[in-house]
């Protein structure tokens, strides 16, 4: 083979690599621009040079289009990450926690915390909000309440819908979750059948109104299915992982508090699987999975600064805190807004709640027993 031909082949390969890399960079930036919900322009974001060592990132999960309460955040987890101490804590905040929301006329009104993201996402539909909450970050209200509850400022947020979650788990090749006890839920909602009348007519519904309110699953059995997972090690695809983090009415499910614990287990499982894999080849597919399904306000500078930290995450101690009636909360049935949770010391009294969280964090990291044990998965 002569030198001219070798040069042509080299140039062809070189330009192919440049083309692939250019597309990869374009794809990443295009995805970022669509998902980024921060207040800075892209140029300003790139110029920022933060040097934070502790981050508090709010993780939100919601149904998305096609689901009842599409933008109600059924998952609210504050991830407290200390890069110096190599520590991370996942703090689960129950969706039924009642908080106060600013109101133009009344000063404040009560609302469940899972409604705050939706309220600002569609702020133009909530005319009672003061002007300062119009056309701002969709987590402004929520982050303010999370700070009062936990004692920590929210630096950034990541919000993901159910479909994006399922696709990510499947792209990773599934995850492994160990359950202490089996889960059996006979009232798991079937996607797409939320409004199915199960053979009844609209005329029938008037006579069934009281029963529907008391026990909808007995009137509309076609809207529900059985979901079961045994105790022990379970290999889960995306659809099954979603059922695990959503189920709350089954035997041994533990209600919303048990669900919060399982959500933290699944997050940990996703982190472990990501660390085991060579994730770079999967990035294009993950971008496709998440496009239109995720939003965040993480600046590019922050992402760039912390890329190396991803590879060090196996060194981190990871612990969980679930706010519940077993520790700092109490519950009741409110005639206006239904089932609610609030501090044991009284409505809107968060001092002991934040003190409890800080004490738990200090106790957890007296030892390093929570460190991830990760070994690479062969490709």
Residue 182 belongs to a domain: no
Over the stretch 171-214, which tens digit does the pLDDT of each residue have?
999 999 999 989 998 888 888 888 888 888 888 888 888 888 78
What pLDDT is stored for residue 315 in this prediction? 81
Kindly tell me if the per-residue pLDDT of 111 is higher than 70.
yes
- How many domains, in total, are found in the chain? 1
Kindly tell me if the per-residue pLDDT of 300 is higher than 70.
yes
Over the stretch 209-266, which tens digit does the pLDDT of each residue have?
888 878 888 888 898 999 999 999 999 999 999 999 988 877 666 778 888 889 989 9
- In angstroms, the CA 137 to CA 160 distance is 16
Residue 214 belongs to a domain: no
Q: What is the CATH number of the domain that holds 324?
A: 3.40.630.190
Residue 285 belongs to a domain: yes
Residue 129 belongs to a domain: yes
C-beta neighbour count of 152 within 10 angstroms: 21
Over the stretch 11-52, which tens digit does the pLDDT of each residue have?
455 444 444 444 556 566 777 777 888 765 444 444 445 578
What pLDDT is stored for residue 79 in this prediction? 92
DSSP annotation of 124 reads G
Stated pTM of the model: 0.83
Residue 102 belongs to a domain: yes
**Residue 293's domain spans which residues?**
13-40+52-172+277-364
Q: 71-103 burial, b for 16+ CB within 10 Å, e for fewer?
A: bbbbbbbbbbbbbeebbbbbbbbbbbbbbebee
DSSP annotation of 246 reads H
């Amino acid at each position: 083979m002569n030198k001219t031909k070798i040069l042509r082949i080299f140039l062809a390969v070189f330009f192919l690599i440049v083309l692939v890399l250019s597309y990869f960079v374009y794809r990443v930036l295009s995805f970022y621009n669509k998902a980024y919900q921060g207040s800075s322009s892209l140029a300003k974001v790139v110029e920022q040079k933060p040097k934070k060592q502790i981050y508090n990132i709010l993780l939100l999960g919601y149904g998305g289009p096609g689901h009842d309460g599409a933008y109600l955040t059924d998952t609210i987890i504050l991830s407290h990450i200390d890069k110096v101490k190599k520590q991370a804590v996942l703090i689960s905040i129950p969706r039924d926690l009642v908080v106060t929301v600013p109101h133009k006329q009344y000063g404040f009104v009560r609302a469940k915390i899972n409604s705050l993201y939706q309220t600002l996402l569609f702020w133009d539909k909530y005319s009672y909000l003061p002007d300062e909450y119009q056309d701002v970050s969709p987590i402004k209200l929520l982050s303010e309440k999370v700070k009062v509850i936990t004692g920590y400022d929210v630096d950034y947020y990541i919000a993901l819908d159910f479909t994006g979650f399922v696709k990510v788990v499947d792209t990773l090749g599934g995850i492994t979750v160990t359950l202490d006890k089996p889960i059996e839920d006979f009232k798991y909602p079937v996607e797409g059948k939320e409004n199915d009348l199960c053979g009844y007519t609209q005329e029938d519904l008037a006579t069934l109104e009281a029963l529907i309110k008391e026990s909808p699953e007995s009137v509309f059995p076609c809207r529900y299915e059985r979901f079961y997972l045994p105790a022990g090690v379970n290999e889960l695809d995306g659809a099954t992982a979603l059922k695990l983090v959503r189920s709350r009415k089954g035997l041994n499910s533990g209600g919303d508090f048990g669900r919060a614990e399982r959500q933290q287990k699944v997050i940990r499982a996703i982190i472990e699987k990501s660390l085991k894999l060579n994730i770079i080849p999967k990035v294009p597919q993950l971008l496709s999975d998440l496009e239109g399904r995720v939003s965040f306000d993480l600046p590019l500078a922050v992402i760039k600064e912390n890329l190396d930290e991803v590879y060090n995450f196996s060194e981190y101690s990871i612990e969980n805190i679930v706010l519940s009636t077993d520790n700092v909360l109490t519950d009741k049935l409110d005639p206006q807004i239904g089932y609610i949770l609030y501090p044991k010391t009284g409505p809107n009294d968060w001092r002991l709640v934040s003190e409890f969280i800080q004490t738990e964090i200090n106790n957890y990291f007296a030892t390093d027993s929570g460190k991830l044990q990760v070994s690479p998965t062969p490709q």
